[in-house]
Structure 1
Amino acid sequence: MNEQLQLLKPKIEEVFAYLHSHPEVSWKEVETTGYLKEFLEREGFEVSLFDGITGLSVTLGQGSPVIGLRTDIDALWQEVNGVYQANHSCGHDGHMTMAIGVLLLARERGLPANGTLKVIFQPAEEKGKGALAVLKTGIMDDIDYLFGVHVRAADELDDGYSAASLRHSAAKMVAGSISGIEAHGARPHQGKNAIEVGASLVQALQSIHCNPMVSHTAKMTMFQAGGDSANIIPGTAKFSLDLRAQQNDVMEELYVHVQRVIKAVAMQYGVDISYEVMSEMVAAEVNAEAEQLMAEAIAKTVGEEKTVRTIITPGGEDFHFYAVHRPNIKSTMLGLGCNLTPGLHHPQMTFNKESLLTGMAILMNAVELAFQSK
């Protein structure tokens, strides 16, 4: 495969250079989708666009088994050198490049000889909604094994090493508002101070206790109240909560406790606190068979000494919605060590581009092993 990789390297570098320099945010990946479609069709692949959303898929072969490879295609919106813009600081440009590389390698290797390979280019991962939208298309319904990939920060995984699974945590982003009573600063008894309510809410969140063997947190991440006048007691406020748990059942328990806390604080002050879940991610449901296949693929590519079984990470990833909503899918996500610094989502994030070829090879080997296992 090394010879095939080297022959493909110029094309892979060209693809990455374009995708990296043309980032688009969630649900607006129009030019990205267009570029992927044009490139893949020029290479002779039949492309299927999703109905009503950005993104696309490519299917090779027919029949069973059905092996899937999913990549995300959106970028982040963030400040880069003083200017707010779309920016590929999460590595999705690299993920797309590796997925294209697998298609090119599969064609060179005559895969699949029997069965079906589906490569899905999914929108809006950063919003936590893309996987759910793709599930509605039905493209995942017949998949047996599903593989994903994510570049990893240098402080989590050394360059050249790879992990057979990423165990992301569950997350909920909650937005709320407090409706109290505004009053003159000299007459606090006539008002219901939204800041005091918020302070009590912060303190009450610290009283939540779930299973201490499973990491979990609930904290306030945004609070806005009051104006320029220091002598006015603010009656209204807006806030955000960030909830994390390493397991889905603990997240369910944590959210019940958070709801109880909000209700208790509202009753204590006699105010209304409204809230809703703005976005959420489920925790990883890693399949042991898929993880084993990925471990074998890594060992085959870079050696057992550079194979890591799993990485537990507090970050979220909407890839895991597929296994949770389609329990028949055996899934795992490759963690690719690539000297990524300073860190994921940092505006100046960079990584070793040579690792893209390694990632392609690992994913190709995983796909081959999955076909052989059936």
Structure 2
Amino acid sequence: MNTAIQQLTPRLNEVFAHLHQNPEISWEEQKTTTYIKQLFENRDCRITTFDDTTGLIIDIGQGEPVVALRADMDALWQEVDGVFQANHSCGHDAHMTIAIGSLFYLLENAYPKQGTFRFIFQPAEEKGNGALSLVEKGVVDDVDFLYGMHLRPIQELRHGYFAPAIRHGAARFAEGTIHGEDAHGARPHLNVNAIQVGSELFQHLNNIQIDPMIPHSVKMTTFHAGGKSPNIIPGNATFSLDIRAQTNEVMDLLIDKVNRITMMLANLHDVTINLKIGDSVAAAVTNDEAQAIMQQAIVDCVGKDNLAPAITTTGGDDFHFYTIKRPALKATMLAIGCDLEPGLHHPDMTFKHECIPQAVEIVTNALVKTVEK
């Protein structure tokens, strides 16, 4: 490992510990934004914050090309040891630490003076709309190359291995309501049981058939009907759906089928079913040139034996909205092997922290290679 990166490691450990111990959920990353800003406000860099949202942009260097590194900031809201709380169980604390480490390294060592390095600390990845908010603010309008990163679960990539791209799938989340009338338990002919409608919806969703060569799924993740009186047949219910597909095209087909199923059941049972498609993330759009640069950076820093092929995963990330909304942008994500287990979003997720300085060296190498190229 680069000597300068080794010397930086104790600071990286301190940064990670602070971020891990102070998680904030989507759109509420105010203290995280302030902390990162304070790390660099007396440095030779240009810091941009926003009046209407969390997150910040830090630029060093000048001119073209503009090469960016994005780190997501938000934590999840989940139950940990019986208490609901913000929790960094997706590795965003590590992602921020890696970006901060890369920025530290560039500021404290010689870097190409022709070209701009941009560090994007983005809010609300877990909501699926943080990237879109920054696209709308124009933060990538002048960017030529964009790099991201993500810790990978042990099932995908072992510790010490890195891959030059992550081919995420698309994900959409829906909220639905079933509207009818309640009835007495002794008179089931006087209403339509919302639980029955929900169970039929569950079965029809499981029976959706699309090309089996392309991973996809629709899951009912919540369903609530009825109250404390067991002798009332509920006419109303609420539910939520998690919809995923490996390609954006298959996602469109899934959404169409889900809409058709809800309309069919509403007509069959003469009830109202309202379905609202909410937050979403798009499937990956990677760039061969950016991927080749990242691949060479991996080989240069950790050796060819530790280079893994691009990762294909059904998980999603709103990083890919940058390239969908700005097609000229050349982008890829570094996959970081760290023996992460039991899995992403598990409340007790752990990983080997030794991957952080290694990833700092790789992404910094990729940034500099891109500018020099």
TM range (shorter): over 0.9
Summarize the alignment of residues 205-244 of structure 1 with structure 2, pairs less than 5 Å apart.
Answer: 205-244=205-244
* SS of structure 2 residue aligned to 1:42: coil
Report the residue type matching 1:135 in the other structure.
V
Q: CA deviation at 1:236?
A: 0.3
Q: Which residue of 1 aligns with 2:338?
A: 338
Partner of 2:17: 17
1:86 and 1:29 map into 2 onto residues whose CA distance is 11
1:76 alignment partner in structure 2: 76
The secondary structure found in structure 2 opposite 1:64 is strand
CA RMSD of aligned residues (A): 1.3
2:17, 2:204 → 1: CA distance? 49
CA distance in 1, matches of 2:167, 2:183: 49
Q: Which amino acid aligns with 1:157?
A: L
Whether the aligned pair in 1 keeps the contact of 2:44 and 2:60 (CA below 8 Å) is no
Contact preservation (8 Å) 1:163, 1:334:
yes
Answer with 251-260 or 212-221: which moved more. 212-221
CA distance in 2, matches of 1:81, 1:183: 39
The number of residues matched between the two structures is 373
- TM-score, length-scaled by structure 1: 0.97
Q: Percent identity?
A: 50
Q: Identify the residue that residue 49 of structure 2 maps to in structure 1.
A: 49
2:167 corresponds to? 167
8 Å contact from structure 2 (residues 71, 122) kept in 1: yes
- Spell out the pairing of 1:146-225 with structure 2 (5 A cutoff): 146-225=146-225
The CA deviation at 1:9 is 1.7
Deviations 1:68-127 (A, max 9, x none): 100011111122222222111111111111101111222234323211111000011111
Shift of 1:309: 2.1
Which secondary structure does the structure 1 equivalent of 2:213 belong to?
Answer: coil
TM-score, with structure 2 as normaliser: 0.97
The Cα offsets for residues 143-192 of structure 1, whole Å up to 9 and x where unpaired, read as 11100011111222111001111111101110000012211122111111
SS in 2 for 1:34: helix
Residue 267 of structure 1, CA deviation: 0.6
Letter matched to residue 362 of structure 1: I
Q: CA deviation at 1:54?
A: 0.5
Quick check: 268-277 or 220-229, which moved more? 220-229
Q: Which amino acid aligns with 1:237?
A: A
Query: What is residue 264 of structure 1 aligned with on the other side?
Result: 264
Q: Which runs of 5+ in 1 are unaligned?
A: none
How many Å apart are 1:341 and its aligned residue?
2.1
SS at match of 1:23: coil
Superposed CA deviations along residues 271-306 of structure 1, whole A, max 9, x for unmatched, are: 110010121111111111111111111111111111
Between stretches 221-230 and 326-335, larger displacement belongs to 221-230
Query: In structure 2, how many angstroms separate the alpha carbons of the residues matched to 1:62 and 1:45?
Result: 10
Query: Which has the larger displacement, 137-146 or 45-54?
Result: 45-54
Query: Is 2:288 the counterpart of 1:298?
Result: no
**Equivalent-residue separation in structure 2 for 1:260 and 1:100 (angstroms):** 47
Contact 2:160 2:337 in 1 (8 A): yes
Q: Distance in 1 between matches of 2:348 and 2:221?
A: 24
Deviations, residues 302-333 of structure 1 (Å, cap 9, x unaligned): 11111112111111111111111110111111
- SS of residue in 1 equivalent to 2:361: helix
The Cα shift of 1:346 comes to 1.6
Q: Which segments of 5 or more consecutive residues in structure 2 lack a partner in the other structure?
A: none
Map of 1:94 onto structure 2:
94
Distance (Å, rounded) in 1 between the aligned partners of 2:308 and 2:79: 34
State the secondary structure of the residue aligned to 1:347.
Answer: coil
Q: Look up the equivalent residue of 2:349 and give its one-letter code.
A: M
The match for 1:246 is 246
